Amino acid sequence: MSNLFRRTEWFRRDRFGMFIHWGLYAIPGRGEWVMSDERIPADVYKDYFKQFNPVDYDPVVWAKAAKKAGMKYVVLTAKHHDGFCLFDSALTDYKSTNTICKRDLVREFVDAVRAEGLKVGLYYSLIDWQHPHYPKYDDLMHPMRRNEAYKDEVIDFDQYLTYMHGQIKELCTNYGQIDILWFDYSYEHMRGETWRAKELMEMVRSLQPNVIVDNRLETSGEGGGSIMTANPTAWGGDFASPEQIIPPEGIKNELGVPLPWELCTTMNNNWGYAPNDLNYKPSSMLIRKLVECVSKGGNMILNVGPDARGTINNQSMQILEDIGQWMSLNSESIYECGYAEINKPEWGRYTRNGNKIYAHVLEAQIGPLALTGIPADQVKSMYQLADGVQVQRGESWITKAYEGILFACLGSIPHFTYPLPDAADTVIVIELKE
């Protein structure tokens, strides 16, 4: 556990990152699973390889957008399930340097992200629907599953594993310090030592001793695996990775020890570019969900899916802008914060860093705000984080029946009702005496 918490120290401090799902699947624009969902054969899917030419790709723009949004790390899909590589792998011709654009897109990405002072993450799919020696007929998700033409196909899975390990070695060797390796993902019997996970992680740790790795060599988006036990495997990962769901009470192992974890979530309902998916989550909701993750000791990595030209669309950029505006005033309540060790209040959530408790007020109250769980006699000061304005105590004749509860007033008269200064999340700093 000590190594786990040492490696993840920066991760637990930074709390907020950007995921980027991008590849050939941006051309059909029907999500990153289109090859599997529509059972497209590899030779047909390669038509997208011949078309791929992201003329507007500028990772500097992406990195600057992430930084402005308050994100501290960025993770790019170096290879997704379709097998296409955004990096110049010596082990395949199925890579961006062999497309019309002839560019090592990962190289440009890592350089741009580092230049903005952000941590670099690379996603690598354990699954590969292009490789000839990946299982097909009996596989749960392969595009050629239950296709009679592949029923009696003989493959050498070790050839695939050698290829997979070799590509991960390339990513760990050729692109400088990698801060996050985001593997995806394990299922059915395809988990753990099926991937030669012990050997793989020994190689990764030897080349990138400070990298942190998710738990998906053993599991998928449910966030489980041996990291949840008292004795995790060497390949169990450094953090749990629940997908599209926030754990009701954060994540702890079987001994009750809080674990590093990260919600991975989308802005709409797809990871890859899907122009017809207009179900975008409101910016205010995403701000509140980031707060919820931090209040439960976790991180949030928010996805964007650039289009085939390499552009992040206007809806996504506006969401990043909105979040960035809130973060520019309130990020102190996110970075380096975590559990407040106080029960959740009815009107919102608490985060905490040392002797500062941050009350994230999500719902206006009738009369004064009850800061339940905070000892009134220990309060040194209260103020709004966004502008530093003092928040007055709210005890008055109407609170006499609730002795021992700390109240705050967002205006000048405790028994008046006031609107929240920030409807998305008004943050009050409660500084306790040392």
pLDDT at 112 over 80: yes
Q: What angle separates helix 157-174 from helix 197-207, to the nearest 10 degrees?
A: 10
Task: Give me the mean pLDDT over the 186-190 stretch.
Answer: 96
Q: Which residue do the tokens 């309540």 mark? A: 333
What are 363-380's pLDDT values in tens digits? 999 999 999 999 999 999
Task: Give me the mean pLDDT over the 337-364 stretch.
Answer: 97
Indicate the pLDDT class of residue 4, thresholds 50, 70 and 90.
confident
Indicate the pLDDT class of residue 416, thresholds 50, 70 and 90.
confident
Which are the contacts of 94, defined by CB distance < 8 A and separation ≥ 6? 46, 49, 83, 84, 85, 130
304/18 Cα distance (integer angstroms): 7
pLDDT at 1 over 60: no
What are 225-238's pLDDT values in tens digits? 999 999 999 999 99
DSSP H stretches of helix in 157-246? 157-174, 197-207
What are 62-108's pLDDT values in tens digits? 999 999 999 999 999 999 999 999 999 999 999 999 999 999 999 99
Largest Cα–Cα distance in the chain? 82
pLDDT at 222 over 90: no
Task: Output the pTM of the full model.
Answer: 0.97
% pLDDT > 70, the chain: 100
What are 194-206's pLDDT values in tens digits? 999 999 999 999 9
pLDDT at 254 over 90: yes
pLDDT at 2: 63
pLDDT at 3: 77
Residue type, 206: S
Task: Give me the mean pLDDT over the 175-180 stretch.
Answer: 98
What are 22-31's pLDDT values in tens digits? 999 999 999 9
Q: Which residue do the tokens 């990043």 mark? A: 320
Indicate the pLDDT class of residue 223, thresholds 50, 70 and 90.
confident
- Nearest CA to 213 among 175, 254, 262, 166? 262
pLDDT at 32 over 70: yes
Structure tokens at 383: 């103020």
pLDDT at 175: 98
Q: Enumerate domains of the chain plus CATH numbers.
A: 2-333 (3.20.20.80), 348-432 (2.60.40)
Of the ranges 91-100, 328-337, 414-423, which one carries the lowest mean pLDDT score?
A: 414-423
- Nearest CA to 59 among 24, 31, 27, 86? 86
Structure tokens at 31: 């999500």
What are 310-327's pLDDT values in tens digits? 999 999 999 999 999 999
In degrees and rounded to multiples of 5, residue 412 shows phi and psi of: -110, -15
- 284 phi-psi bin (left φ>0, alpha ψ -120 to 50, beta other): alpha
